[in-house]
Amino acid sequence: MTLEILTADALAPLRHGFFTRRGGASSGIFAGLNCGRGSSDQAHAVEINRARVADAMGVAPEALISVTQVHSANVVQVTEGGRHGQERADAMVTDVPGLALSVLTADCQPVLFADAEAGVIGAAHAGWRGALDGILEATLEAMEALGAGRGRVAAVIGPTISQGAYEVGPEFVERFVDEDRGNARFFAGGKGDRSQFDLPGYSLHRLRSAGIGHAEWTRQCTYADEARFYSYRRSVHRAEADYGRLITAIRL
């Protein structure tokens, strides 16, 4: 099966892709394009999958850059290839042609950034904690340090868990409302004391409030579409031992 790569017009003409799970070498609960080295999948299958992604991005495998994601607001400036997970961070930026920045997700948001005019790109892994702590704004600031103009930057949120599938407890809601009472708008009533959180809606608000030129969500739910996407929450609900990781990448 060939790879399925979702793209966004807002990031054109830069090569980029929100890769689905289709077209990979993994099997079992990881069936498809699992690119998570931290998963319990067979290591050689993961490397085959990552090599296929690198080929689709038009770079050598060592130029498909990743970091060790820790749900932080840390951003790394990438200047060379061959770095695979040494830094503990959740976003990368670069102005170096030929390097593909990649993030892994399985319900959290993959967010790609581009100022095509300045030749500066970014990629962020933004779960609820990273978004709340400012990973999106930190990525914009790091891009500006390389010459990007905030008003020219386009950001696209890829497949992520949607509000209808994201049930949270009252303590979760309180954390967001304590930060900003206006954040209550991103929660809808659920069963009992539970609420449904709109993660992409919240992140679009953060991006637009930061003065970005354009921000959008591709509007695919990772939890709801098992044929195309891995989902951490779905794996928990099924009591599965592990889960696959989707990859998203962008290059100059």
Domain with 48 in it: what CATH number? 3.60.140.10
Q: Encoding tokens for residue 206?
A: 């953060």
DSSP string, 32-59: B----TTSSS-HHHHHHHHHHHHHHHTS
* Residues of the domain holding 61: 5-160+217-251
What is the b/e burial string over 100-119, where b = at least 16 CB atoms within 10 angstroms of the residue's CB?
Answer: bbbbbbbbbbbbbbbbbebb
Total domain count, the chain: 1
Using 50 as the pLDDT threshold, list the residues of the chain that sit under it. none
pLDDT, position 172: 97
The enclosing H or E element of 86 equals strand 84-88
Q: What are φ and ψ of residue 64, in 5° steps?
A: -90, 100
Per residue in 133-145, is it b (16+ CB within 10 Å) or e — as a string?
bbbbbbbbebbbe
Please tell me the predicted confidence (pLDDT) of residue 85.
Answer: 65
- Residues β-bridged to residue 249: 17, 102
Neighbours of 171 (CB within 10 A): 8
Going by C-beta distance under 8 Å and a sequence separation of 6 or more, which residues neighbour residue 194? 167, 168, 169
Residue 40 included in any domain = yes
Q: pLDDT value at position 81?
A: 75
Q: Please report the pLDDT score of residue 72 as a whole number.
A: 96
In a domain? residue 115: yes
Q: Which amino acid is at 71?
A: H
CA angle 34/40/45 to nearest 5° reads: 45
| Contacting residues for 2 by C-beta, under 8 A, at least 6 apart | 22, 23
Would you state the pLDDT for residue 159? 98
Cα-Cα-Cα-Cα dihedral sign, residues 98, 56, 201, 170: negative
Q: What does the pLDDT read at residue 82?
A: 64
What pLDDT shows up at residue 87?
87
Burial of 81 per CB tally in 10 Å (0-12, 13-18, 19+):
middle
Threshold 0.75, pTM exceeds: yes
**Domain assignment of residue 136, yes or no:** yes
In a domain, 212, yes or no: no
What pLDDT is attached to residue 80? 81
Residue 209 lies in a domain: no
Residue 194 lies in a domain: no
Return the pLDDT at 83. Answer: 62
Residue 172 located in a structural domain? no
